[in-house]
């Protein structure tokens, strides 16, 4: 078996069209072709940290994938990234290990951005401004990946920390965007019809009063139990509520709150893979409000790891 | 991070005294210093196979360990070992990956043999003959590892398959043992006071009529639900019943049957780490019967992986 490091992986990614592969993964997931056992977890107290092991496979495909990702929050004190991560690919017919992708968590960031791109393609109206709540890594990557699906290069952004908002603005200008900073989240919603919410907030910051007809929201931030960005009644306003995984979204994320608050019923949730396959219908009217809640599904890891490894094998020939 | 392959690992093992390290692991486990979450499992139907992910750490030590092991039962058709395995070591303070030990499951076999060695040291009488039920890998390794704790070089062996028994005999003669083949399991018990039972049997083959005063049994075979070597009433005869992990032995292995059949109560089970620390007392009389039930604990993986990695670092200096 081999180890591919982050630089090699980054080079390989340049030549891969991830969208059809990740879409195929979501469709397989929603049609019951994917085995994803419960996430393994290891917790540390001193220093604090946690490790997640996500794993699974698509039935009948070549590989199974095990992803090991960790967050140790005091790392930055020592100049080490808080998040660490790797993916391992094995032969689905023999169990033999094939490759370790030592991507340092980059592949998770990218497969998440691609999922957002897919949601915007299938759920948003023609984008007028890209609305961004948050200034972190996903607030950047999600926008960059939208480049491929919209001509729009105008961002309206809100962030809690002024310094970080300025850094965000400068960085995104360099990437070819016009950036408008807003002081209130509501102003972002006033300008933009397509919002990426990607903060680590644990209290709702997006209120139902902000939401206009025609808005699409891709909610990225609330990927773990206890995190929440959308306020009471927001999900209820949506004509179309989409989960990457209904099972996971019942446990964590925006939809879980909407269900427990009685805003919507479980049978009102659509699954992304079913929209992609045409089994469910997404946006039906330009005035409709759509919300996609992304918690991250192991099949995305399976697909991106497979794509990187197969591209590596192809280039090696 | 680095990959060490099987040959490198085997060379390093030659210079390591594993017994005190594995003993330390068992003691830490029994004193509540070890975090071992539930085993992760991935199952395949076509071709049939399963993958187990075992992971954990000793609080306050340097590393945490994730072991990935698989069994794909049709591999041998293609000349590939059925069992595959690797261990990964990470920094317990930062989550950074340090090394992949691509041991192809060898380290699991060895840490299991060392556990048997420790049981014999602490529970068996002075060995007259080494009694062996089974002719597979553990039937060999367990005996080899006993070399370090006994002068006895005489084996009495029983196996289901005559051809495999002969191969076993020849192989063990080469390793410096005298080997006596018995046609009945009872005859092994008649000669030997220290028995290793290491078959993959799912029906009891060791009956209570066979057990003599002074016997010690190390039961290796029943490491998974549905496997069983000791017949009804055998565990009840023992004055001292030892589990590597009481929690695991209540779920699987010989002790789980003895408990559900009402032969013994949970509070009669001693844990290996407590015997090693002196908290519990093992054999108290040469006439007593002792049974050790080994199901395999992740702390053994933690300790053997740590030892290999530290020996590697030491040799690199």
Q: Residue B219: pLDDT band by 50, 70, 90 thresholds?
A: very high
Residue-range definition of the domain harbouring residue B46: 2-107+299-316
Q: Which of A50, A95, A302 to mutate to test binding with chain B, by most B CBs within 10 Å of its CB?
A: A95
Residues A20 and A94 occupy one common structural domain: yes
Same domain, A289 and A304: no
Once rounded to an integer, what is the mean pLDDT over residues B274-300?
96
Window 104-133 of B: residues touching A by CB (8 A cutoff) are: none
Residues B159 and B307 in one domain: no
Is there a single domain that holds both residue B25 and residue B79? Answer: yes
Q: Is residue B146 a contact partner of residue B130, using CB atoms and an 8 Å limit?
A: yes
The Cα A98–Cα A1 span in angstroms is 5
Chain B nearest C-alpha distance from A61 (Å)? 11
Whether B55 sits inside 8 A of A41 (CB atoms) is no
Could you tell me if B56 lies within 8 Å of chain A, comparing CB atoms? Answer: yes
Q: What six digits make up the tokens of B158? A: 């029983």
* Residue B109, min C-alpha distance to chain A (Å): 18
Domain shared by B40 and B80, yes or no? yes
Q: Is residue B87 part of a domain?
A: yes
pLDDT at A1: 87
What is the model's pLDDT at position B65? 98
With CB atoms and an 8 Å threshold, state whether A93 touches B72: yes
**Residue A102 to chain B, least CA–CA distance (Å):** 9
Is B246 contained in some domain?
Answer: yes
CA distance A78 to chain B (A): 10
Give the confidence band of B192 by pLDDT, cuts at 50, 70, 90.
very high
DSSP-assigned states of every residue in A122-183: HH--S-SSEEEE--SHHHHHHHHHHTTT-S--EEEEE-S-HHHHHHHHHHHHHTT-EEEE-S
Give tens-digit pLDDT for B119-143. Answer: 999 999 999 999 999 999 999 999 9
* B16 in reach of chain A (CB within 8 A): no
Residue whose structure tokens are 């030659």:
B14
Q: Is pLDDT at B38 greater than 80 in this prediction?
A: yes
Query: Closest to B95 (Cβ–Cβ): which among A72, A93, A100?
Result: A72
* Same domain, yes or no: A281 and A165: yes
Contact present, A65 and A55 (Cβ < 8 Å): yes
**Mutation site for B-interface testing, chosen from A81, A94, A100 by largest number of B Cβ within 10 Å:** A94
- The pLDDT score that the predictor gives to residue A227 is 83
Out of A84, A95, A100, name the one closest to residue B96 (CB).
A84
Task: Tell me if chain A has a CB within 8 Å of the CB of B71.
Answer: yes
With an 8 Å Cβ cutoff, are A72 and B78 in contact? no
Q: Are the C-beta atoms of B285 and B239 separated by less than 8 Å?
A: yes
**Do B153 and B289 lie in a common domain?**
yes
Q: How many helices (H) and strands (E) does chain B have?
A: 11, 15
Using an 8 Å CB-CB cutoff, list chain A residues near B66: 53, 68
Residues A23 and A79 grouped into a single domain: yes
Please determine, for residue B224, whether its predicted confidence score (pLDDT) is greater than 80.
no
CB contact under 8 A, A43 and B51: no
Give the confidence band of B225 by pLDDT, cuts at 50, 70, 90.
Answer: confident
Is B115 inside a domain boundary?
no
Q: What's the pLDDT at B221?
A: 81
> Which pLDDT score, from 0 to 100, does residue B302 have?
97
Domain assignment present for residue B114? The answer is no
Which of A141, A116, A115, A143 has the alpha carbon at shortest distance from A129? A143
User: Does some domain include residue B171?
Assistant: yes
CATH of the domain at A200: 3.40.50.720
Q: What is the pLDDT of residue A124?
A: 98
The answer to whether residue B266 scores a pLDDT higher than 80 is yes
Answer whether A98 touches B (CB < 8 Å): no
The pLDDT assigned to A192 comes to: 98
Report pLDDT for A221. 81
Question: In 10 A of CB B74, how many CB atoms?
Answer: 14
| Whether A185 contacts A209, CB under 8 Å | no
- At A285 the three-state DSSP class reads coil
Domains: count for chain B: 2
Give per-residue pLDDT as tens, B235-261.
Answer: 999 999 999 999 999 988 899 999 999
The verdict on B102 and B206 lying in the same domain is: no
**Which residues of chain A lie closer than 8 angstroms to B56, CB-CB?**
42
Could you tell me what percent of chain B has a pLDDT over 70?
A: 100
* Confidence band for B194, pLDDT divided at 50, 70 and 90: very high
Radius of gyration of chain B (CA): 19
Instruction: Give yes or no for B3 touching A (CB within 8 A).
Output: yes
Tell me whether residue B241 is in a domain: yes
| CA dist A191 → A164, A181, A195, A214, B306 (Å) | 21, 11, 10, 12, 57
Sequential pLDDT tens for chain A (317 residues):
889 999 999 999 999 999 999 999 999 999 999 999 988 999 999 999 999 999 999 999 999 999 999 999 899 899 999 999 999 999 999 999 999 999 999 999 999 999 999 999 999 999 999 999 999 999 999 999 999 999 999 999 999 999 999 999 999 999 999 999 999 999 999 999 999 999 988 899 999 999 999 999 999 987 767 788 999 999 999 999 999 999 999 988 899 999 999 999 999 999 999 999 999 999 999 999 999 999 999 999 999 999 999 999 999 88
């Amino acid at each position: 078996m081999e180890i591919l490091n982050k630089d090699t992986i980054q080079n390989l990614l340049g030549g891969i069209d991830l969208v059809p592969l990740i879409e195929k993964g979501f469709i397989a997931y929603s049609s019951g072709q994917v085995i994803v056992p419960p996430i393994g977890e290891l917790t540390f107290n001193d220093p604090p940290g946690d490790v997640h092991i996500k794993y699974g496979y698509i039935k009948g495909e070549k590989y199974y994938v095990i992803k090991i990702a960790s967050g140790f929050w005091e790392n930055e004190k020592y100049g080490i990234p808080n998040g660490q991560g790797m993916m391992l690919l094995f032969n689905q017919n023999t169990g033999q290990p094939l490759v370790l992708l030592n991507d340092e968590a980059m592949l998770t960031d990218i497969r998440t951005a691609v999922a957002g791109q897919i949601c915007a393609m299938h759920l948003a109206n023609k984008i007028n401004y890209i609305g961004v709540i948050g200034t972190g890594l996903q607030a950047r990557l999600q926008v960059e990946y939208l480049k491929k699906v919209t001509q729009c290069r105008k961002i309206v952004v809100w962030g809690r920390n002024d310094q970080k908002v300025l850094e965000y603005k400068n960085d995104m200008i360099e990437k070819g965007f016009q950036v408008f900073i807003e002081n209130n989240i509501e102003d972002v919603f006033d300008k933009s019809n397509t919002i990426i919410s990607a903060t680590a907030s644990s209290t709702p910051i997006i209120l139902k009063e902000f939401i206009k007809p025609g808005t699409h929201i891709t909610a990225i931030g609330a990927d773990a139990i206890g995190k929440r960005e959308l306020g009471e009644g927001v999900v209820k306003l949506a004509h179309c509520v989409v989960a990457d995984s209904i099972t996971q979204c019942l446990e964590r994320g925006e939809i879980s709150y909407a269900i427990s608050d009685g805003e919507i019923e479980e049978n009102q949730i659509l699954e992304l893979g079913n929209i992609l396959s045409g089994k469910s219908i997404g946006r039906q009217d330009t005035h409709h409000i759509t919300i996609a809640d992304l918690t991250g599904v192991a099949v995305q890891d399976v697909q991106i790891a497979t794509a990187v490894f197969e591209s590596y094998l192809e280039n090696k020939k």
